[in-house]
A and B are shown apart, each in its own frame.
Chain A
Amino acid sequence: MAINAGSPNAGQKALAASFEAETGAKVVYEAYEAVDWNGFFAKVLTQLAAGVPLDCAYVATEGMQLFSHSGLSMPLDSFVMRDKAELKPYFADIHPLLTECEMYQGSLMMLPTEFNAGDLYYDTTLFEKAGIPRPPDDWTEADFINIVKHWTNVQAVGWDWVVRLWGSWSSWMYANGSNLLTEGKYGGGDWLWSTFYPGQPARSGGWHWGEPTANAPGTVEALQLMIELKQQGISPSPDAGGGGTLQGLFASNHIATTIGGGFWAGGLYEAGMKPNAYDVMYFPKWKVQKHLIGVGGFTVLEKSKNHDLAWEWIKHSTTANAISTVYGPRAPDKGNTSTPARRSVLNAAGYAPTGPKHWDVFYGTLDNYPNTTPIPAPFYYEALATAFLARTTQGFSSGNAQSALNGLQSDLEKLYKA
């Protein structure tokens, strides 16, 4: 059975081995690496078009609607209901928000295995030196500005980020009560909510991303804030790309605050940062205190010839042991490469070797903030991301957020109407 995922780390290899031991089916990882999600999708699509047999694909929020809309992924509804007894404990261990993120037009497309919330990482060493205590959970944007303006020189900056959809000024959009696209919900999904989350109000059939709002005042204000921070020397110009350099800079105490998800814990550890040299906070409140998240999991490809086997793999990948081995504390080589979707897997012992101290913030973002929303990733995500990157960098070099976002609005309108 061929799975497309990133290049397998030791945990994923172990997972494949255990699956083979259980079912006798061999799992082959087809590792497609790309510089960004766009490149990744294009490769998967080309491979499929070339007739390469793939059964499962590992997809995150960025690509979920693309895969669903184009019919690449098949809905899991019938499988889920068929095995509902088996899956009840699983869903009980998964926050319903994560599940909702994996719905599309009333169907469930993936079983979540991991997620990353846009929380705020800060350098405890720099904070201590400047005499700044850990902010309270409900701190505001004004508090944030007061803090980050302490670092404006070459040695350290107050705030840095990377231009991409997750983990950039988009978080400020959310905190300002705005977004790139109009947030909506699909109907349907009751079959899932009533079966697995009884006693809780039913949620929707997935996020529906509507009309672009790129140049709405709230969005413009968010980008303008970033530009001002740069102009005041608090923040450098953001890089494009994957964020590897960002982690390196943060780990070497050149950055005081940045956005990071659970996956940063492992990354910083690898970059040589001590577990108590940094910590994590909720994102500050501007108009609202609202976080963005991305969720990941495996999907069954429609073109696969082994739907049932693929479904078995998906279930296999969602056991507590599996999630812990691949992402969480029990990973053989690198710990904490992402935030486990299963609540039960997160524990203090797991985060002790890598940090952060307040690891409870990860799942707390889901529990304590019901307004947490996924990143805007419609089925035309690729073109959206390209436009987002180009317009954001344009805004920075021109210093004018309004005109850049007017441009983005027209870009997105063309895509939305297409």
Chain B
Amino acid sequence: MSTLSGGPSSSGEARWKILGRRGGRGIEVVLLTAAALIVISPVLWMISTSLRTPAESFNEPPQWIPIHPIFSNYSAVFSNVPFGDFIINSMIVTGLIVIGQLITSSLAGYAFARLRFRGNNIVFWIILATMMVPIQATIIPVFILIKYMHLVDSLTALILPAVVSAFGTFLMRQAFMQMPRDYGEAAIVDGASQWKVFTRVYLQMAWPALATLAVLGFAGYWNEFFRPLIFLNSQSNYTIPLGLVNLQGFMGTGSVSVVLAAVTMALVPNLIVFAFAQKYFVRGISFGGIKG
């Protein structure tokens, strides 16, 4: 199985042969650029509108570059809702989930990959099988469970069910399986315990896989809406996506520019992770989809 980061590994010549013709037809470039701009345009409109007064939000023609940008919408966000709380809540939930998944997945992944114990294969297959269960199919019993644990309307309700991950276990198992046995064997000969073999030898080599898991986890849980909508009731506990929808308003004042300012701010962490960790994210996707 090949892990890809970025594009084709084939040489320039071969690429053209695979893809049909020598590149660079003008019209293709134009259409491609147009497509790229169309894809980005909603975000541009969002940012631009957030810098205009509410009264100007629906002006026609829409001003893509605001003539007199104002920043009061951004401060209005904080006075309308506890946006700072939203950010902190999201950070806590996503952070603890990712950390939890990294820990449990690397432990279990290593055990399934490298250790002998009864039921190793069977248990792993069962865990693998649960990967196909959509969360909506289990949300009602989980909600009832959370209710009985008196965790409704708490961040724990979001974190606890998510600290283990079948996918993460699978990912880490694959990673550990691909590591050479020699290092471990050598360490054992040198007198290391099994645990040390794990922590000092194999875990050190697992950073790329851990990074991939972390990035995927971030993307998955930072942007989540469904579970927070169900489990969180008090506004002070809301995570960002839920908080944004809440800001849009109930019977009242959900000025468009203010909402868009909030959405823009909410997008910043996503952009940062995207910029720095795109490689891992792509790796994670490619990990699954290519028949090597």
Given known A271-B55, A272-B54, contact A7–B81 (CB-CB < 8 A) = yes
Residues of B within 8 A of A46 (CB): 147, 152, 233
B57 CB, nearest partner CB in chain A, Å: 6
Cβ-closest chain B residue relative to A334? B253
Tell me the bound Cα distance from A337 to B238 in angstroms.
24
Interface size on A, residues (CB 8 A): 40
Cβ-closest chain A residue relative to B238? A33
Q: Which among A36, A47, A154 has the greatest number of chain B C-beta atoms within 10 A?
A: A47
- Is B253 a contact partner of A244 (Cβ separation < 8 A)? yes
Given known A52-B153, A248-B57, contact A242–B235 (CB-CB < 8 A) = no
A225 CB, nearest partner CB in chain B, Å: 24
- Is B254 a contact partner of A155 (Cβ separation < 8 A)? no
A-B residue pairs in contact (CB < 8 Å), sample of 23: A31-B234, A31-B236, A32-B233, A33-B238, A34-B250, A46-B233, A52-B153, A242-B249, A242-B254, A243-B251, A243-B254, A248-B54, A248-B255, A249-B58, A251-B255, A252-B54, A252-B55, A252-B59, A263-B251, A266-B253, A270-B253, A272-B255, A337-B252
Residues of B within 8 A of A245 (CB): 254, 256
Tell me the B9-58 residues at the A interface (CB within 8 Å): 53-58
Whether, in the assembled complex, B245 has its beta carbon less than 8 Å from a beta carbon of chain A, the answer is: yes
Cβ-closest chain A residue relative to B248? A244
Q: Helix, strand, loop or mixed for chain A's interface?
A: loop
- Is A252 a contact partner of B79 (Cβ separation < 8 A)? no
Given known A6-B250, A35-B245, A245-B256, contact A47–B54 (CB-CB < 8 A) = no
Whether, in the assembled complex, B60 has its beta carbon less than 8 Å from a beta carbon of chain A, the answer is: yes
Q: Which among A36, A241, A244, A247 has the greatest number of chain B C-beta atoms within 10 A?
A: A244
What's the A-B contact tally at a CB cutoff of 8 Å? 100
Whether, in the assembled complex, B2 has its beta carbon less than 8 Å from a beta carbon of chain A, the answer is: no
- Is B256 a contact partner of A248 (Cβ separation < 8 A)? yes
Tell me the bound Cα distance from A331 to B227 in angstroms.
35
Whether, in the assembled complex, B68 has its beta carbon less than 8 Å from a beta carbon of chain A, the answer is: no
Whether, in the assembled complex, B246 has its beta carbon less than 8 Å from a beta carbon of chain A, the answer is: yes
Tell me the bound Cα distance from A270 to B82 in angstroms.
17
Tell me the bound Cα distance from A251 to B256 in angstroms.
11
Cβ-closest chain A residue relative to B143? A46
Given known A32-B234, A254-B58, contact A244–B152 (CB-CB < 8 A) = no
- Is B252 a contact partner of A242 (Cβ separation < 8 A)? yes
- Is B57 a contact partner of A51 (Cβ separation < 8 A)? no
B126 CB, nearest partner CB in chain A, Å: 32
Whether, in the assembled complex, B291 has its beta carbon less than 8 Å from a beta carbon of chain A, the answer is: no
